[in-house]
Amino acid sequence: MAAYVPTEREQAFRDTIENPKYEREIINGLKPFFDDKAPDAIKGFYSKNELAALLALKGTDRDVENRMPVKMTRHFYELAQHSIPMQQLVKANPDETLNLAGSEDPGHQMDFAPVEGLLHKYEMGLLYAVSTCSAHCRFCYREELISQKEVERQDGTVAKKGLAKIPEVTDYIKAHNKIVAANGGRHPDTGREKLREVLLSGGDPMALPNRKIGAWMAALAEAGVESIRLGTKEMSFHPKRFDAAFLAMMDNFHAAYPDIGFRLMIHFNHPDEFLLKGDDGEYQQNPNGSLMWHPDTKEAIEGVTSRGWINVENQAPIIKGINDDADALRVMQRALYRAGVNNHYFFCGRDIVAYRHFNVPIETVWNLLNESQKGLSGVEAHARLSITHYKGKTEVAAVTSEPIPGVPGTENGVLIFKILRNALDAPDRGKTCIVGRNPDAIWFDDYEDRVIYDEAGLFDYARVDKKTVEIEAAAELAASA
Ligand code: SF4
Protein backbone atom coordinates (compact mmCIF):
# COMPACT_ATOMS: atom_id res chain seq x y z
CA MET A 1 0.00 0.00 0.00
CA ALA A 2 1.27 3.49 -0.90
CA ALA A 3 2.52 5.72 1.93
CA TYR A 4 -0.09 8.03 3.39
CA VAL A 5 0.23 11.63 2.24
CA PRO A 6 -1.46 14.21 4.47
CA THR A 7 -3.28 17.11 2.87
CA GLU A 8 -1.93 20.64 3.39
CA ARG A 9 -4.59 21.40 6.01
CA GLU A 10 -3.86 18.14 7.78
CA GLN A 11 -0.12 18.75 7.82
CA ALA A 12 -0.59 22.31 9.06
CA PHE A 13 -2.64 20.98 12.01
CA ARG A 14 -0.15 18.19 12.70
CA ASP A 15 2.67 20.75 12.80
CA THR A 16 1.01 22.51 15.75
CA ILE A 17 0.94 19.44 18.00
CA GLU A 18 3.03 19.49 21.16
CA ASN A 19 4.19 16.15 22.36
CA PRO A 20 5.15 16.15 26.05
CA LYS A 21 6.16 13.03 27.95
CA TYR A 22 3.93 11.91 30.80
CA GLU A 23 5.32 10.53 34.06
CA ARG A 24 2.71 8.03 35.10
CA GLU A 25 5.10 6.09 37.40
CA ILE A 26 3.70 2.84 36.07
CA ILE A 27 4.30 -0.42 37.91
CA ASN A 28 4.42 -3.15 35.29
CA GLY A 29 3.77 -6.75 36.22
CA LEU A 30 3.99 -8.64 39.48
CA LYS A 31 7.78 -9.12 39.37
CA PRO A 32 8.56 -5.91 41.31
CA PHE A 33 6.27 -7.24 44.07
CA PHE A 34 7.63 -10.81 43.96
CA ASP A 35 11.20 -9.43 44.12
CA ASP A 36 10.34 -6.89 46.81
CA LYS A 37 11.47 -4.13 44.45
CA ALA A 38 8.26 -2.12 44.13
CA PRO A 39 8.59 1.51 45.27
CA ASP A 40 8.14 1.81 49.05
CA ALA A 41 4.83 3.62 48.70
CA ILE A 42 3.35 0.73 46.68
CA LYS A 43 4.94 -2.28 48.35
CA GLY A 44 1.99 -3.05 50.57
CA PHE A 45 -0.50 -3.27 47.70
CA TYR A 46 -0.39 -7.08 47.81
CA SER A 47 -0.24 -8.96 51.11
CA LYS A 48 2.36 -11.71 51.60
CA ASN A 49 -0.34 -14.35 51.27
CA GLU A 50 -1.68 -12.84 48.06
CA LEU A 51 1.81 -12.75 46.56
CA ALA A 52 2.51 -16.36 47.59
CA ALA A 53 -0.72 -17.53 45.93
CA LEU A 54 0.05 -15.62 42.73
CA LEU A 55 3.66 -16.83 42.67
CA ALA A 56 2.49 -20.44 43.00
CA LEU A 57 0.57 -20.04 39.73
CA LYS A 58 3.50 -18.52 37.84
CA GLY A 59 4.37 -20.53 34.74
CA THR A 60 1.31 -22.80 35.09
CA ASP A 61 -1.75 -22.69 32.87
CA ARG A 62 -3.41 -20.70 35.65
CA ASP A 63 -0.81 -17.91 35.51
CA VAL A 64 -2.90 -14.74 35.88
CA GLU A 65 -0.35 -12.55 34.10
CA ASN A 66 -0.62 -14.70 30.99
CA ARG A 67 -4.35 -14.11 30.97
CA MET A 68 -4.00 -10.35 31.40
CA PRO A 69 -0.82 -8.34 32.07
CA VAL A 70 -0.74 -6.52 35.41
CA LYS A 71 -0.22 -2.75 35.29
CA MET A 72 -1.12 0.31 37.37
CA THR A 73 -0.22 3.97 37.71
CA ARG A 74 0.87 5.90 40.77
CA HIS A 75 -2.22 8.16 40.70
CA PHE A 76 -4.55 5.16 40.64
CA TYR A 77 -2.64 3.39 43.39
CA GLU A 78 -2.80 6.40 45.68
CA LEU A 79 -6.58 6.61 45.41
CA ALA A 80 -6.93 2.83 45.63
CA GLN A 81 -5.23 2.78 49.03
CA HIS A 82 -8.56 3.93 50.46
CA SER A 83 -10.82 1.91 48.18
CA ILE A 84 -11.33 -1.86 48.01
CA PRO A 85 -13.31 -1.58 44.72
CA MET A 86 -10.41 0.29 43.10
CA GLN A 87 -7.95 -2.29 44.34
CA GLN A 88 -10.05 -5.07 42.85
CA LEU A 89 -10.05 -3.23 39.53
CA VAL A 90 -6.30 -3.60 38.95
CA LYS A 91 -5.21 -6.24 41.42
CA ALA A 92 -4.38 -9.69 40.06
CA ASN A 93 -6.38 -12.40 41.82
CA PRO A 94 -5.63 -16.14 41.69
CA ASP A 95 -9.37 -16.85 41.33
CA GLU A 96 -9.38 -15.21 37.89
CA THR A 97 -8.05 -18.38 36.34
CA LEU A 98 -10.11 -20.89 38.33
CA ASN A 99 -12.56 -21.17 35.46
CA LEU A 100 -11.26 -20.14 32.06
CA ALA A 101 -14.58 -20.55 30.27
CA GLY A 102 -15.24 -17.77 27.80
CA SER A 103 -14.43 -16.43 24.39
CA GLU A 104 -11.13 -15.11 23.00
CA ASP A 105 -13.15 -12.90 20.68
CA PRO A 106 -16.18 -11.76 22.65
CA GLY A 107 -18.94 -10.45 20.46
CA HIS A 108 -17.27 -12.20 17.49
CA GLN A 109 -15.67 -8.85 16.80
CA MET A 110 -13.39 -10.19 14.11
CA ASP A 111 -16.44 -11.04 12.00
CA PHE A 112 -16.80 -7.31 11.39
CA ALA A 113 -13.19 -6.46 10.47
CA PRO A 114 -12.97 -5.60 6.76
CA VAL A 115 -9.37 -4.44 7.24
CA GLU A 116 -7.00 -5.21 10.10
CA GLY A 117 -7.68 -3.15 13.20
CA LEU A 118 -11.02 -1.71 12.01
CA LEU A 119 -14.39 -3.06 13.06
CA HIS A 120 -17.21 -1.74 10.90
CA LYS A 121 -20.55 -1.96 12.68
CA TYR A 122 -23.69 0.04 12.13
CA GLU A 123 -22.70 3.46 10.77
CA MET A 124 -19.62 3.32 12.98
CA GLY A 125 -16.07 2.17 12.79
CA LEU A 126 -14.04 1.12 15.81
CA LEU A 127 -10.27 1.30 15.59
CA TYR A 128 -7.73 -0.66 17.54
CA ALA A 129 -5.28 2.25 17.67
CA VAL A 130 -3.06 0.86 20.45
CA SER A 131 -2.82 -2.37 22.41
CA THR A 132 -2.20 -1.13 25.92
CA CYS A 133 -3.48 1.33 28.54
CA SER A 134 -1.78 3.23 31.38
CA ALA A 135 -3.09 0.55 33.73
CA HIS A 136 -4.99 -2.64 33.07
CA CYS A 137 -8.45 -3.48 34.36
CA ARG A 138 -8.53 -7.14 35.28
CA PHE A 139 -11.99 -7.51 33.72
CA CYS A 140 -11.04 -5.98 30.36
CA TYR A 141 -12.87 -7.59 27.45
CA ARG A 142 -9.99 -6.74 25.16
CA GLU A 143 -7.66 -8.98 27.13
CA GLU A 144 -6.76 -10.89 23.97
CA LEU A 145 -5.53 -7.67 22.33
CA ILE A 146 -3.71 -6.40 25.40
CA SER A 147 -2.04 -9.73 26.15
CA GLN A 148 -1.35 -10.21 22.43
CA LYS A 149 -3.01 -13.62 22.24
CA GLU A 150 -3.50 -15.44 19.02
CA VAL A 151 -7.15 -15.41 18.05
CA GLU A 152 -8.84 -17.82 15.69
CA ARG A 153 -10.51 -15.97 12.85
CA GLN A 154 -13.68 -17.23 11.31
CA ASP A 155 -11.82 -18.45 8.22
CA GLY A 156 -9.81 -20.76 10.49
CA THR A 157 -6.54 -18.79 10.46
CA VAL A 158 -4.95 -17.96 13.80
CA ALA A 159 -3.19 -14.65 14.42
CA LYS A 160 -2.82 -11.85 16.93
CA LYS A 161 -5.20 -8.96 16.49
CA GLY A 162 -3.37 -6.28 14.53
CA LEU A 163 -3.55 -2.53 15.02
CA ALA A 164 -5.22 -0.18 12.57
CA LYS A 165 -3.12 1.77 10.09
CA ILE A 166 -4.11 5.15 8.68
CA PRO A 167 -3.74 4.36 4.94
CA GLU A 168 -5.78 1.12 5.01
CA VAL A 169 -8.50 2.50 7.24
CA THR A 170 -8.97 5.81 5.40
CA ASP A 171 -8.98 4.04 2.01
CA TYR A 172 -11.68 1.68 3.25
CA ILE A 173 -13.83 4.51 4.67
CA LYS A 174 -13.57 6.54 1.47
CA ALA A 175 -14.39 3.50 -0.68
CA HIS A 176 -17.38 2.47 1.41
CA ASN A 177 -18.79 5.99 1.52
CA LYS A 178 -18.32 6.51 -2.20
CA ILE A 179 -20.41 3.43 -2.96
CA VAL A 180 -23.08 4.43 -0.43
CA ALA A 181 -23.29 7.95 -1.92
CA ALA A 182 -23.57 6.56 -5.46
CA ASN A 183 -26.40 4.29 -4.30
CA GLY A 184 -28.63 6.93 -2.72
CA GLY A 185 -27.45 6.61 0.87
CA ARG A 186 -27.31 2.85 1.40
CA HIS A 187 -24.79 0.22 0.44
CA PRO A 188 -26.33 -1.88 -2.37
CA ASP A 189 -25.25 -5.20 -0.81
CA THR A 190 -25.32 -4.69 2.94
CA GLY A 191 -27.89 -1.89 3.24
CA ARG A 192 -25.52 -0.05 5.54
CA GLU A 193 -25.34 3.72 5.60
CA LYS A 194 -22.38 6.04 5.37
CA LEU A 195 -19.59 5.24 7.81
CA ARG A 196 -19.87 8.57 9.52
CA GLU A 197 -18.49 8.05 13.01
CA VAL A 198 -15.26 6.43 14.20
CA LEU A 199 -14.30 5.39 17.71
CA LEU A 200 -10.60 5.50 18.49
CA SER A 201 -10.12 2.63 20.85
CA GLY A 202 -7.66 -0.09 21.79
CA GLY A 203 -6.32 -0.32 24.50
CA ASP A 204 -6.50 3.32 25.42
CA PRO A 205 -5.64 5.91 22.75
CA MET A 206 -4.64 8.32 25.52
CA ALA A 207 -1.65 6.02 26.09
CA LEU A 208 -0.42 7.25 22.68
CA PRO A 209 1.50 10.50 22.23
CA ASN A 210 -0.50 13.53 21.08
CA ARG A 211 1.06 13.44 17.63
CA LYS A 212 -0.41 9.97 16.97
CA ILE A 213 -3.84 10.85 18.32
CA GLY A 214 -3.83 14.05 16.27
CA ALA A 215 -2.70 12.22 13.12
CA TRP A 216 -5.62 9.79 13.44
CA MET A 217 -8.14 12.57 14.06
CA ALA A 218 -7.05 14.64 11.09
CA ALA A 219 -6.85 11.61 8.77
CA LEU A 220 -10.38 10.55 9.74
CA ALA A 221 -11.67 14.07 9.23
CA GLU A 222 -10.07 14.20 5.78
CA ALA A 223 -11.59 10.78 4.95
CA GLY A 224 -15.07 12.24 5.37
CA VAL A 225 -15.97 11.06 8.87
CA GLU A 226 -18.44 13.43 10.57
CA SER A 227 -17.80 12.56 14.16
CA ILE A 228 -14.94 11.09 16.17
CA ARG A 229 -15.09 9.37 19.51
CA LEU A 230 -12.19 8.53 21.74
CA GLY A 231 -12.64 5.83 24.38
CA THR A 232 -10.42 6.23 27.43
CA LYS A 233 -9.97 5.33 31.09
CA GLU A 234 -7.14 7.82 31.49
CA MET A 235 -9.36 10.14 33.58
CA SER A 236 -9.07 7.45 36.21
CA PHE A 237 -5.53 6.20 35.59
CA HIS A 238 -3.66 9.48 34.98
CA PRO A 239 -5.90 12.55 34.71
CA LYS A 240 -2.88 14.85 34.27
CA ARG A 241 -2.71 13.43 30.72
CA PHE A 242 -5.52 15.91 29.84
CA ASP A 243 -3.09 18.78 30.12
CA ALA A 244 -2.62 22.08 28.31
CA ALA A 245 -0.77 20.42 25.41
CA PHE A 246 -3.61 17.94 24.83
CA LEU A 247 -6.27 20.65 25.10
CA ALA A 248 -4.32 22.92 22.74
CA MET A 249 -4.23 20.06 20.24
CA MET A 250 -7.98 19.66 20.57
CA ASP A 251 -8.54 23.40 20.10
CA ASN A 252 -6.31 23.44 17.02
CA PHE A 253 -8.14 20.42 15.64
CA HIS A 254 -11.47 22.16 16.15
CA ALA A 255 -10.15 25.30 14.45
CA ALA A 256 -8.96 23.24 11.45
CA TYR A 257 -12.03 20.96 11.29
CA PRO A 258 -14.93 22.88 12.90
CA ASP A 259 -17.62 20.57 11.48
CA ILE A 260 -16.28 17.41 13.10
CA GLY A 261 -18.11 16.39 16.27
CA PHE A 262 -16.07 14.91 19.09
CA ARG A 263 -17.15 12.65 21.93
CA LEU A 264 -14.87 11.67 24.76
CA MET A 265 -16.11 8.33 26.06
CA ILE A 266 -14.70 8.09 29.56
CA HIS A 267 -14.81 5.08 31.84
CA PHE A 268 -15.34 5.40 35.58
CA ASN A 269 -16.62 2.26 37.26
CA HIS A 270 -16.86 3.64 40.78
CA PRO A 271 -17.03 7.11 42.37
CA ASP A 272 -13.91 6.32 44.42
CA GLU A 273 -11.98 6.85 41.19
CA PHE A 274 -12.60 10.60 41.29
CA LEU A 275 -14.16 11.67 44.60
CA LEU A 276 -12.15 12.55 47.69
CA LYS A 277 -12.73 10.67 50.92
CA GLY A 278 -12.08 11.89 54.46
CA ASP A 279 -10.40 9.91 57.26
CA ASP A 280 -13.87 8.64 58.21
CA GLY A 281 -14.15 6.95 54.80
CA GLU A 282 -17.00 9.26 53.74
CA TYR A 283 -16.93 11.38 50.60
CA GLN A 284 -15.90 14.96 51.34
CA GLN A 285 -18.46 17.66 50.62
CA ASN A 286 -18.28 21.13 49.17
CA PRO A 287 -20.07 23.86 51.17
CA ASN A 288 -23.22 23.39 49.04
CA GLY A 289 -23.38 19.65 49.78
CA SER A 290 -22.05 18.46 46.43
CA LEU A 291 -19.17 16.01 46.56
CA MET A 292 -15.54 17.01 46.25
CA TRP A 293 -13.46 15.73 43.33
CA HIS A 294 -9.78 14.86 43.33
CA PRO A 295 -8.20 18.14 42.12
CA ASP A 296 -6.35 16.52 39.19
CA THR A 297 -9.49 14.80 37.91
CA LYS A 298 -11.57 17.93 38.44
CA GLU A 299 -9.13 19.97 36.37
CA ALA A 300 -9.07 17.31 33.64
CA ILE A 301 -12.86 17.07 33.44
CA GLU A 302 -13.28 20.83 33.44
CA GLY A 303 -10.69 21.06 30.68
CA VAL A 304 -12.77 18.93 28.35
CA THR A 305 -16.31 19.87 29.39
CA SER A 306 -15.50 23.59 29.11
CA ARG A 307 -15.07 23.09 25.36
CA GLY A 308 -18.66 23.07 24.27
CA TRP A 309 -17.95 21.05 21.14
CA ILE A 310 -16.58 18.10 23.16
CA ASN A 311 -19.31 15.84 24.54
CA VAL A 312 -18.19 13.80 27.51
CA GLU A 313 -19.98 10.53 28.25
CA ASN A 314 -19.29 7.88 30.85
CA GLN A 315 -19.83 4.19 30.21
CA ALA A 316 -18.75 1.24 32.30
CA PRO A 317 -19.41 -2.42 32.92
CA ILE A 318 -20.86 -3.60 36.24
CA ILE A 319 -18.28 -5.96 37.69
CA LYS A 320 -18.43 -8.27 40.69
CA GLY A 321 -16.70 -6.79 43.74
CA ILE A 322 -16.04 -3.46 42.01
CA ASN A 323 -19.31 -1.66 41.34
CA ASP A 324 -22.14 -4.12 41.98
CA ASP A 325 -23.34 -1.58 44.53
CA ALA A 326 -26.47 0.52 43.91
CA ASP A 327 -25.44 3.29 46.34
CA ALA A 328 -22.05 3.74 44.68
CA LEU A 329 -23.66 3.79 41.24
CA ARG A 330 -26.16 6.42 42.38
CA VAL A 331 -23.40 8.64 43.78
CA MET A 332 -21.40 8.24 40.60
CA GLN A 333 -24.22 9.05 38.17
CA ARG A 334 -25.16 12.14 40.17
CA ALA A 335 -21.62 13.46 40.58
CA LEU A 336 -20.75 12.89 36.93
CA TYR A 337 -23.84 14.63 35.59
CA ARG A 338 -23.24 17.63 37.86
CA ALA A 339 -19.74 17.91 36.38
CA GLY A 340 -21.09 17.95 32.82
CA VAL A 341 -20.61 14.26 32.02
CA ASN A 342 -23.51 12.29 30.56
CA ASN A 343 -24.23 8.81 31.86
CA HIS A 344 -24.35 6.79 28.66
CA TYR A 345 -24.28 3.01 29.11
CA PHE A 346 -23.71 0.53 31.86
CA PHE A 347 -22.80 -2.88 30.53
CA CYS A 348 -23.38 -6.41 31.66
CA GLY A 349 -20.14 -8.40 31.57
CA ARG A 350 -19.08 -10.12 28.38
CA ASP A 351 -18.17 -13.73 27.78
CA ILE A 352 -14.43 -13.08 27.91
CA VAL A 353 -12.06 -15.80 29.05
CA ALA A 354 -12.52 -16.03 32.86
CA TYR A 355 -15.80 -14.09 32.77
CA ARG A 356 -17.25 -16.17 35.57
CA HIS A 357 -14.90 -14.42 37.98
CA PHE A 358 -16.12 -10.96 37.00
CA ASN A 359 -19.69 -11.14 35.74
CA VAL A 360 -22.68 -10.30 37.90
CA PRO A 361 -25.90 -12.11 36.90
CA ILE A 362 -27.78 -10.12 34.26
CA GLU A 363 -30.98 -9.77 36.30
CA THR A 364 -28.99 -8.64 39.36
CA VAL A 365 -27.29 -5.96 37.27
CA TRP A 366 -30.64 -4.72 35.99
CA ASN A 367 -31.93 -4.49 39.56
CA LEU A 368 -28.79 -2.73 40.76
CA LEU A 369 -29.00 -0.10 38.06
CA ASN A 370 -32.73 0.34 38.58
CA GLU A 371 -32.21 0.76 42.33
CA SER A 372 -29.34 3.17 41.75
CA GLN A 373 -31.52 5.37 39.57
CA LYS A 374 -34.25 5.71 42.17
CA GLY A 375 -33.88 9.21 43.56
CA LEU A 376 -31.93 10.54 40.59
CA SER A 377 -33.41 13.27 38.44
CA GLY A 378 -34.47 12.36 34.91
CA VAL A 379 -31.35 13.85 33.34
CA GLU A 380 -29.03 12.14 35.84
CA ALA A 381 -30.63 8.76 35.12
CA HIS A 382 -30.15 8.60 31.37
CA ALA A 383 -27.91 5.52 31.38
CA ARG A 384 -29.25 2.28 29.96
CA LEU A 385 -28.14 -1.23 30.64
CA SER A 386 -26.62 -2.83 27.59
CA ILE A 387 -25.33 -6.31 26.88
CA THR A 388 -23.41 -6.88 23.70
CA HIS A 389 -24.89 -9.76 21.79
CA TYR A 390 -22.98 -11.13 18.78
CA LYS A 391 -25.69 -9.54 16.69
CA GLY A 392 -25.21 -6.07 18.14
CA LYS A 393 -25.84 -3.83 21.10
CA THR A 394 -28.85 -5.01 23.10
CA GLU A 395 -30.60 -3.31 25.99
CA VAL A 396 -31.78 -5.22 29.03
CA ALA A 397 -34.99 -3.23 28.94
CA ALA A 398 -37.04 -4.73 31.77
CA VAL A 399 -37.17 -7.54 34.29
CA THR A 400 -40.56 -8.44 35.78
CA SER A 401 -41.43 -10.50 38.82
CA GLU A 402 -45.01 -11.57 38.18
CA PRO A 403 -46.20 -14.39 35.91
CA ILE A 404 -48.04 -13.40 32.74
CA PRO A 405 -51.42 -15.17 33.02
CA GLY A 406 -51.78 -17.97 30.49
CA VAL A 407 -48.19 -17.73 29.16
CA PRO A 408 -46.11 -20.78 29.99
CA GLY A 409 -42.51 -20.10 31.01
CA THR A 410 -43.33 -16.81 32.73
CA GLU A 411 -44.00 -18.26 36.19
CA ASN A 412 -41.14 -16.25 37.74
CA GLY A 413 -41.51 -13.24 35.49
CA VAL A 414 -39.67 -12.35 32.27
CA LEU A 415 -36.66 -10.44 31.02
CA ILE A 416 -37.03 -8.28 27.92
CA PHE A 417 -34.06 -7.65 25.65
CA LYS A 418 -34.33 -4.94 23.03
CA ILE A 419 -31.99 -4.51 20.07
CA LEU A 420 -30.40 -1.07 20.15
CA ARG A 421 -28.20 -1.59 17.13
CA ASN A 422 -27.77 -4.58 14.92
CA ALA A 423 -24.15 -4.57 13.87
CA LEU A 424 -25.15 -5.00 10.24
CA ASP A 425 -28.62 -3.67 9.78
CA ALA A 426 -30.06 -0.48 11.29
CA PRO A 427 -33.77 -1.33 10.77
CA ASP A 428 -33.57 -4.06 13.43
CA ARG A 429 -33.59 -1.43 16.17
CA GLY A 430 -36.38 -1.83 18.66
CA LYS A 431 -36.99 -5.52 18.05
CA THR A 432 -37.39 -7.44 21.28
CA CYS A 433 -36.75 -10.83 22.75
CA ILE A 434 -38.59 -12.08 25.84
CA VAL A 435 -37.21 -14.87 27.97
CA GLY A 436 -38.36 -16.53 31.18
CA ARG A 437 -36.27 -15.41 34.12
CA ASN A 438 -33.07 -17.11 35.22
CA PRO A 439 -31.58 -15.21 38.18
CA ASP A 440 -28.24 -17.01 37.74
CA ALA A 441 -27.83 -16.15 34.05
CA ILE A 442 -24.60 -14.34 33.21
CA TRP A 443 -24.74 -14.73 29.44
CA PHE A 444 -27.31 -15.32 26.70
CA ASP A 445 -26.63 -19.08 26.70
CA ASP A 446 -28.20 -19.29 30.14
CA TYR A 447 -31.57 -18.34 28.64
CA GLU A 448 -31.44 -20.71 25.69
CA ASP A 449 -33.99 -23.10 27.21
CA ARG A 450 -36.50 -20.40 28.14
CA VAL A 451 -37.06 -18.22 25.08
CA ILE A 452 -40.70 -17.11 24.87
CA TYR A 453 -40.64 -14.64 22.00
CA ASP A 454 -37.70 -13.64 19.80
CA GLU A 455 -38.44 -11.20 16.98
CA ALA A 456 -34.91 -9.87 17.57
CA GLY A 457 -33.41 -13.21 16.54
CA LEU A 458 -30.98 -13.31 19.46
CA PHE A 459 -31.37 -17.05 19.83
CA ASP A 460 -31.49 -17.79 16.15
CA TYR A 461 -28.20 -16.22 15.23
CA ALA A 462 -25.83 -17.26 12.49
CA ARG A 463 -22.39 -15.71 12.46
CA VAL A 464 -21.56 -13.22 9.77
CA ASP A 465 -19.85 -14.85 6.84
CA LYS A 466 -16.27 -13.63 7.12
CA LYS A 467 -15.58 -14.32 3.49
CA THR A 468 -18.48 -12.05 2.49
CA VAL A 469 -17.08 -9.24 4.64
CA GLU A 470 -13.66 -9.62 3.00
CA ILE A 471 -15.05 -9.83 -0.52
CA GLU A 472 -17.15 -6.71 0.05
CA ALA A 473 -14.17 -4.83 1.45
CA ALA A 474 -12.02 -5.80 -1.52
CA ALA A 475 -14.78 -4.85 -3.96
CA GLU A 476 -15.19 -1.47 -2.29
CA LEU A 477 -11.48 -0.72 -2.51
CA ALA A 478 -11.36 -1.83 -6.13
CA ALA A 479 -14.41 0.26 -7.02
CA SER A 480 -12.85 3.38 -5.54
CA ALA A 481 -9.47 2.89 -7.22
S1 SF4 B 1 -8.91 0.82 30.22
FE2 SF4 B 1 -10.37 -0.24 28.87
S3 SF4 B 1 -9.09 -1.24 27.34
FE4 SF4 B 1 -7.74 -0.65 29.04
S5 SF4 B 1 -7.65 -2.42 30.36
FE6 SF4 B 1 -9.31 -1.15 31.13
S7 SF4 B 1 -11.15 -1.91 30.12
FE8 SF4 B 1 -9.39 -2.68 28.98
Tell me if 64 is assigned to some domain.
Answer: yes
| 24-28, 52-56, 174-178, 191-195: range with lowest mean pLDDT | 191-195
Give yes or no for a contact between 456 and 431, defined as CB atoms under 8 angstroms apart. yes
Burial 303-325 (b: 16+ CB within 10 A, else e): bbeebeebbbbbbbbbbbbbbbb
Tell me if 57 is assigned to some domain.
Answer: yes
Tell me if 69 is assigned to some domain.
Answer: yes
Tell me if 116 is assigned to some domain.
Answer: no
- How many whole angstroms separate alpha carbon 80 and alpha carbon 93? 16
Q: Whose CA is nearest to atom 6 of ligand 1?
A: 137
Atom of ligand 1 nearest to the CA of 237: 1
327-376 pLDDT, tens digit per residue, is: 999 999 999 999 999 999 999 998 888 888 999 999 999 999 999 999 99
Tell me if 52 is assigned to some domain.
Answer: yes
201 CA to centre of ligand 1 in angstroms: 10
73, pLDDT greater than 80: yes
Strands, E, within 62-123: which ranges? 71-72, 118-121
The answer to whether the Cα torsion of 156, 157, 158, 163 is positive or negative is negative
236-280 pLDDT, tens digit per residue, is: 999 999 999 999 999 999 999 999 999 999 999 999 999 999 989
168 CA to centre of ligand 1 in angstroms: 25
Atom of ligand 1 nearest to the CA of 317: 7
339 CA to centre of ligand 1 in angstroms: 23
pLDDT of residue 369: 98
Tell me if 37 is assigned to some domain.
Answer: yes
- How many whole angstroms separate alpha carbon 390 and alpha carbon 110? 11
Can you spell out the DSSP letters for 43-70? GGGS-HHHHHHHHHHTTSTT-HHHHS--
Tell me if 208 is assigned to some domain.
Answer: no
Q: Which of 204, 235, 346 is the best mutation target for the ligand 1 pocket, counting ligand atoms within 8 Å of the beta carbon and taking the most?
A: 204
pLDDT of residue 455: 94
The whole-model pTM stands at 0.93
127 CA to centre of ligand 1 in angstroms: 14
53, pLDDT greater than 80: yes
Atom of ligand 1 nearest to the CA of 231: 2
188-213 pLDDT, tens digit per residue, is: 887 888 999 999 999 999 999 999 99
279-299 pLDDT, tens digit per residue, is: 899 999 999 999 999 999 999
Q: Which domain holds residue 93?
A: 27-97
Longest dimension (CA), the chain: 69
Give the three-state DSSP class for 339: coil
pLDDT of residue 471: 56
Number of domains making up the chain: 1
pLDDT of residue 354: 83
Tell me if 44 is assigned to some domain.
Answer: yes
Ligand 1 site: residues with CB under 6 angstroms? 133, 136-137, 140, 142, 203-204, 233, 267
pLDDT of residue 375: 92
140 CA to centre of ligand 1 in angstroms: 5
- Considering only CA atoms, which of 64, 130, 160 is closest in space to residue 354? 64
Q: Which residues contact 416 (CB under 8 A, 6 or more apart)?
A: 396, 397, 398, 399, 400, 432, 433, 434
